[in-house]
Structure 1
């Protein structure tokens, strides 16, 4: 989602410019990043990869 075309209800300015505290908060919510600045998708894929490697190690140990 992008905040390019969003208009702030408090100051009637474009949210992307961040003219008032409401704009800045809205912009931060739209562009929120996950843990350590990573997107939730990257975090989920990392966890899935780690679990797959752990499963392969477990299966290969027999």
Structure 2
């Protein structure tokens, strides 16, 4: 479900428009996500782990 599908009970407008305080609060709660890492950072971590694994394989 997204806020595009919701109608505000207070102002009777789509929540996505955010015309009243209730709409704006509901819209911000719908779009709140947990902390996430940027894809470039995840890729950099994976490359670093691969490099470490290759170095360790050569040592042992």
Q: Say yes or no: TM over 0.5.
A: yes
Provide runs of 4+ in structure 1 moved above 6 Å.
none
TM-score normalised by the chain length of structure 1:
0.55
RMSD: 2.8
Larger Rg: 2
Gap runs ≥5 in structure 2: none
Correspondence for 2:43 among 43, 49, 52? 49
Q: How many pairs align?
A: 56
Task: Point out where structure 1 has 5 or more consecutive residues left out of the alignment.
Answer: none
